[in-house]
Structures are given as structure tokens and as C-alpha cells.
Structure 1
Amino acid sequence: MEAFFDQSVPWYLVDVPPTGPVMQKLLVDYAGIDGANVDEHIANIRDKAWRVAPFPCVGSFLFAELVLSTFPVYPKLVANLKSGAWSRYLEVGCGLGQDIRKLIQDGVPKTSVMGTDLLPGLLKSGQELLQDADALPLGQSLFAADFLDTSNDNVLSKASLDGTVDVIHATMFLHCFDRPTQLLACKRILTLLKTNPGVMIVGKQGGVAKGAGAREHPVKGPMGQVDGVVRTNFLHDVDSFKALWDEVGQVTGTRWDVQVREEEVMDRGYLYFDEEEHRWLSFVITKL
């Protein structure tokens, strides 16, 4: 079992990387962490979270970075959620949920934001990171759930979330699955969204450069084989990601405007996605 939590993998960093000013402000002003103790706090939370989920985003401290607020569409999301034009935001595969707290810090009512992840330990680590277990309790704002579970008693449906969400944030999520499972995940996303035009899916994921060829990517580290089954991710380029959403539209009878941008950034993602063609794909998908 100790091999599962092996710290010798390339994506486990010993030292905390510099914390960006926006995340620093979130930890100090929202969570109430003393500025002088931010690095120590982040390191302590990472050590706890690693014992729950030895994922690249945990080992490399990516959970201490914000994604959603860097999107050009972010001011629109905040304005719609603050004004009541939109009533519900849901982050799938939210991990520690730092982007959820940034929305609250920017004035979005906490009753309008929700997150879900497979592992309750990651959600609890997020509550410790941001010091807000009372404000965002498990089972009300944060849901430990198998997102792909479509049975009648699945957690998200029992929480009456189906058909109620205006915007879904899915960062570092779809790339966790193989291509057939990605299609299932996208269809599940649609069951949670409202049916009216303008509802939105936003996010960022690992991919490959356009023209390099979308590919199956072996899951590295202890999660590469679970119960004897070898696991793979499917990494898209811009064209194959659009093709995925063309297929989603065809099988669900819906139409989507898919805006996806390729980003070449030499960041800690290369500790895991070490291929030369590695890129980040950022997307905004809007129902027509």
C-alpha cells in the first residue's frame, strides 16, 4: 500500500512553489491564514491530501493555483451569478475547490456555488485549505460522488441537481478518462445543465499540439493500474476536442459553440505530461 503513496514520482515536489498574488490574497483574506505562514499551510495540506489522492495536481501543488479567474469569460460568470441571472455554478472534479472559493470572494453567493469530486478526502482537504467547513459543508455545497454514476440513487440526482445548473467548470477532468468515457462524462454534464440556450461549460485540460495527433496516454504512477485494469487517458488536440463535442451534439440532439484554445506553457504540468507535444487546452462551450 505504501507504494501507492510513493513520493519519488516526478510530480511530487518537496518545496512549495511561489504562490501567486491572487491565490495568496484568497488564503489570507478569505481563509484567514497569516501571510507569513501561507507556504507552511499549503505544504501541510498537500501532505494530508497526498495520503488520500497521490495525484499530479496534489503532488505538484497545482491545487494552490487558480484557473477559472484567468479566463476572459470570468467577469461574465461572476456578474451573472451575482445578479441572479444565473442561479447555480457546479465544478466537477473540483479537487480542493480553490476556484469555488475565489467566486465567493468575488461576491457570488455561497448558496449558488457547488463542487463535486470522487474522493471525500479531497473535499475535506479543501475545507482545511480554505478554512470554511461550516460555510461549505459536505453533502450541501460539496458532494463526494461518482460523476459517471447514472443510477436512480446517484448522489447528484438525489441532491436535485439535474437540470438546474447554469455553468459547469471542468478543469483537469475530461482528460482523466479514455475517449469512450469522455463521451459518457459529457452526456452526464448535459443532464445537470439547464436546457436553455446560453448555459456554459468552461475548463482547462491536458492535450497535445494541433497536428501532433490526439492519442491515448498511459496513466502514470500508482493509478496506472487499478484492480488489474490498465488505465489510459485520451489527450485531445483542438480538432479532436471539437469533434468530441460534435458527437455529443449528435447523440443528444443539441448544438454547441465550442471555443478551444491551445496554450504552450512550460509549467508544472510537464512533470506529468512530459511529451514534447504537450499543450494545455482551454475551452468555453456554450449551448446554442
Structure 2
Amino acid sequence: MGTLVPDRGECYVILQVHQYPCIGRFAFAKLQISRLPAYSHFLQLGKDRRTAIFLDIGCCFGNDVRKAIADGYPRDNVVASDLRSDFWNLGHELFRSTPETFPVPFIQGDVFDSSFLARTPTVYAPSLNPIPDLRSLTSLTPLIGHIFAIHASAFFHLFNEEKQYELAQRMASLLSPEPGSMIFGSHVGQTHKGFRTARRATSGEYIFCHSDESWKELWDGQIFKEGKVRVDAQLVRVDRPDSSQTGDAYLLVWSVIRV
């Protein structure tokens, strides 16, 4: 997979794209996807389902995609997407790869743009549309109802409550109706639903956070019909530089699995 440690010059270029605090903390070097409780279920999906398409949304450098493939997820079933291609291209530099040696399709676009991902209801019946060729995709719309696994980490907390709800709806529309299909990830959370007392370092805005209970309620009964998914959500306390001033910091670690 190549080195996971960028030199100083690479770090400067990376932060010039966007100064996400998690990048400054080298969070991408920790291969977060493999630390998630649902990871073993995810890998089993790749083994059991011949056409189990996996989407890493907000993929950044592609580090989690690379880890999943290294652990056995079929590369031909993997697609990555982000708002900008800069991070994905820098990922090739970080991991010493090229589009030829690591030919995972990358689709650039805004998940909130309906020309990129049409806003449709959650799918409960098999799609009548054929599974698209992943290498020919220019948007996510052809994947509606076809994806077996979506990974979304350090993503939801970038948006306010209304946008988090819309993002969840859009993710749900992509998911295959097959039992076992899943959406999973982690992001900033807290013990009660609402805004954190700390502002974002980059924008000065307050971060809206779900609690473990409000996150379960969101997916089971609002995004999906009640009882149609199994939701696991856990708050994990983490050490952060601002925790002494703002109180305990938590990651919301979660999975949503069709039943």
C-alpha cells in the first residue's frame, strides 16, 4: 500500500487544499474504517455477494478504500467519491500509486446536487435498472438501489441538522434493499443532541451533533420505515486538544444495516 507517512512538503500541499483539523492530526493515517465495529460484517458482504458495490463517500485520500481492498474487499466492486478530486489525486502521491496501478473509479461531485445524485425515496424493492459499469460513472444517480455498503466517516458533522437529515436520505436511496446492506461510519457526536460549545477551527461555526439515541431515532423510523433496519450507535470518548476548554469530546461510531 506504500507509505502512510507524508513528508513536510506533502503535508503543506494537503493543507493548502482544505485545512480540515482531522488532516492536521494525521487521522487519515489511522485507517479508521478497520476500527469500526461493523467492519467484519462489511468484509463478509464483499465475500458473500458477487455484486456487492461499496461506496466510500467523502473518501478524501482514499486511505479507507485502500485498507478495505487490502483486507479482501473485491477491488472491482469499489467506487469512491468526494466533492473535489484534489485529495484523491494527493492520495496517489501519498500511497505511491497511479490511476493505472490503483484503478478504483473516483467520481467527483456534490452529494447535495440533484444532478449528481437524484433525490429519490428510500428503495424497498429491487431496482429494475441494470447495475452500471462503475468505470463509466460520472454521477451517483445510476447507483440508486444498487449499493451494498456505504462508508461515511468524518462527514456528517460537516453539516447542520437539516443537511445531515438530507444527507441520510440521499445515502439511504443508494442502498440496495437486500438484507445485510449497510451504511456505516463515525463522526463527532455528544451525549445530547445539539450544538457543541466549541466552534470549528476553520470556519468559526458551531458543530451540530447527534447523540447515540437521536442517531438511532433518525435512521430507524425517519429515514427508513421503523423496524426495517438495525442501528448500532456508540459514543466513544476521545482526547482532543480543545477538550480541556469544552468538556469531553466524543466520536459517534455507528452502523445501519437492512434487516
Relative to the length of structure 2, the TM-score reads: 0.81
1:86 CA displacement: 5.0
**How far has the Cα of 1:196 moved from its partner?**
2.2
Partner residue, 2:123: none
Kept in 2, the 8 Å contact 1:53–1:122? The answer is no
- Which string of whole-angstrom CA distances, capped at 9 and with x for unpartnered residues, describes residues 83-117 of structure 1? 43552111111111211101111222221112111
Report what 1:190 is aligned to.
Answer: 172
The alignment's C-alpha RMSD in Å is: 2.4
Unpaired stretches in structure 2, ≥5 consecutive residues: 119-137
3-state SS of 1:175 partner: helix
* Secondary structure, aligned partner of 1:263: strand
Q: 1:175 is matched with which residue: 157, 175, 197? A: 157
* Aligned counterpart, 2:113: 149
State which of 233, 237, 240 in structure 1 corresponds to 2:207. 233
Q: Which portions of structure 1, spanning 4 or more consecutive aligned residues, are displaced by more than 6 angstroms? A: none
Q: What is the aligned length?
A: 236
Q: What is the DSSP-based 3-state SS (H/G/I as helix, E as strand, rest coil) of the residue aligned with 1:221?
A: coil
Residue 22 of structure 1 is matched in structure 2 by none
- Tell me the residue number matched to 1:20: none
Q: 1:133 to 1:197 in 2, by over 3 A?
A: same
Displacement of 1:232 in angstroms is 4.3
Letter in 2 for 1:248: I
Aligned-residue offset at 1:271 = 3.2
Counterpart of 1:256? 229
Deviations 1:55-105 (A, max 9, x none): 111111111111111233323322321343552111111111211101111
Alpha-carbon distance in structure 2 between the residues aligned to 1:141 and 1:107: 17
Instruction: Give secondary structure in 2 for the equivalent of 1:248.
Output: coil
TM-score of the aligned structures, taking structure 1 as reference length: 0.73
Name the aligned partner's letter for residue 200 of structure 1.
Answer: M
Greater helix fraction, Structure 1 or Structure 2: 1
Aligned mates of 2:113, 2:12 — CA distance in 1: 29
Q: Is residue 245 of structure 2 the alignment partner of residue 278 of structure 1?
A: no
CA contact (8 A) 1:177 1:232 kept: no
Secondary structure of 2:111 counterpart: coil
| 1:247 and 2:222 matched | yes
Q: Deviations over 1:108-127 (max 9, x none)?
A: 22211121111211111112
In structure 1, stretches of 5+ residues that fail to align are: 1-29, 225-230
Change (3 A) 1:161 1:119: same
Q: How does 1:51-62 map to 2 (within 5 A)?
A: 51-62=16-27
Residue of 218, 221, 233 corresponding to 2:201: 221
Query: SS of the counterpart of 2:230?
Result: strand
Pair 1:214–1:255, CA change in 2 (3 A): same
Could you tell me how far 1:50 is from its partner in structure 2? 0.4
Picking from 146, 165, 168, the partner of 2:147 is 165
Task: Verify the 8 A CA contact 1:42 1:129 in the aligned structure 2.
Answer: no
Write the letter of the residue equivalent to 1:262.
L
Describe the shift of the 1:141–1:232 C-alpha distance in structure 2 as closer, same or farther (beyond 3 A): farther
